[in-house]
Structure 1
Amino acid sequence: MPLCTSCRCLLRRALRPRQHFLSTSSKPSPAEMLSKPTWSVRSLRHPPPTTTAAAPAATEKITSSQLHHLLRLAALPLPQTPSEENTMISTLQDQLHFVRAVQRVDTTGVEPLRAIQDETEEARRENTITLADMQGLLDAEEHVGHYQRPRRVRTRIEDESSEKWDVVGTAGRKAGKYFVVESRKT
């Protein structure tokens, strides 16, 4: 026998593991959080010496055949000398170390950006279009018909720079004020 929606919700709630959020200490202040660094740029750019058994798997050695394969995929020239190849491998390993460090960051509970822009409340207020901003455009509308539907009055923009542009100036062949296009019938 199928369960009704409310019974199904109650059953889900009863079976869901409960998390108790008992906090004996208060939240640390921003000054306390910023007083102790948790990472450095140097640790992100250069891998620390391997101390654990799991570290060698994360810093696997890139072979010259892998480097050559990546360079061919990217349509880049192969290294001319072994020293140039070693430099490329070292740079690639540093970049992979940085990418892995970024991937290890815990992003649970972080809301993704909708766009790369300032999302503070002040910026939202500044970018919000209000009725006062639109009032000039609304006043320029004319009302048409029995139901007085608003219609925008189209005005021609007079711009001197567009009038001075010689449209057919770059044409190879001209006939008066027109340019000539040669075509053949097939």
Structure 2
Amino acid sequence: MRSLCTRCSAVLRHQRAFTTSAARPSAQKSVQQVLAQPTWSVASLLPKSDDAKSTTEAPITRSKLHHLLRLSALPLPETEAEEAAMLRTLHSQLHFVRDVQSVDTSGVEPLRSLRDETTEGIAEATIGLQQLSEALGKEVLFGHKKRPKRQRGNKVDTKGVEDWNPLETASRTAGKYFVVQSKKEES
């Protein structure tokens, strides 16, 4: 099992993800400095040319490849060279997936959703009385139990917007109704 490098885990612990507020310039600068010098490459997750053949897993056979292509509704390879290229690509992709799966994630809490779940993020997304004060100020208490009732806003001016007559487009009308012609089947 591989673990995250210390620099990456330190950055993950101290950085705030998925924020909507303006980022602090000092935090941006440190992230830029960290990302300016990569600590590893994706190429390290791909198999070496001599290591491609020596996998501990059962190799993907020609029939298994054809079966996967049929399940995916993809066309079968037309030539042997095309089939060999597909097998090489599939082996490298599987090697990549196995390498990613081998990362030690013990102690890492699973992601429950794609939002900022840090205490700062939760506080930022929480709606409080300050945000609701305008809406609560428009309520009027009424009745014996003093129940709050929302006052209706001013009437919206729809002049010029809703002045059209929908019956103008109908081919047949009967008073203020559309007439839909249908045939009754005689049996």
Question: When the two structures are superposed, what TM-score results if normalisation uses the length of structure 1?
Answer: 0.59
Gaps of 5+ in 2: 1-5, 11-33
Partners of 1:79 and 1:42 in 2: how far apart? 27
Q: Which residue of 2 aligns with 1:67?
A: 65
What SS is found at the alignment partner of 2:56?
helix
- Which residue of structure 2 aligns with residue 76 of structure 1? 74
Which letter does structure 2 place at the counterpart of 1:91?
Answer: T
Distance change (3 Å), C-alpha of 1:184 and 1:105:
farther
CA distance in structure 1 between the aligned counterparts of 2:142 and 2:120, rounded to whole angstroms: 39
C-alpha separation between the residues in 1 aligned to 2:155 and 2:76? 55
- Find the residue that maps to 2:107 and give its secondary structure: coil
Which residue of the other structure, out of 110, 131, 135, is the alignment partner of 2:108? 110
2:83 partner SS:
helix
| Paired residues for 1:31-180 under 5 Å | 37=39, 39-44=40-45, 46-48=46-48, 49-50=50-51, 56-58=55-57, 60-153=58-151, 155=153, 158=156, 175-176=172-173, 178=178, 180=180
Where structure 1 has 5 or more consecutive residues not aligned to the other structure, the ranges are 1-28
Summarize deviations over 1:40-69 as a string: whole Å, max 9, x none: 31121x213449xxx6214x4211211110
Change (3 A) 1:88 1:154: farther
Root-mean-square deviation (CA, aligned residues, Å) is: 4.0
- In structure 2, relative to structure 1, the CA distance for the partners of 1:136 and 1:87 (3 Å cut) is same
> 1:115 Cα deviation (Å)?
0.9
Give the structure, 1 or 2, with the largest relative contact order (CA under 8 Å, sep 6 or more): 2
In structure 2, C-alpha distance between the alignment counterparts of 1:81 and 1:66, rounded to whole Å: 17
Measure how far apart 1:151 and its partner are: 3.0
**1:75 Cα deviation (Å)?**
1.4
Change beyond 3 A, Cα 1:87–1:126: same
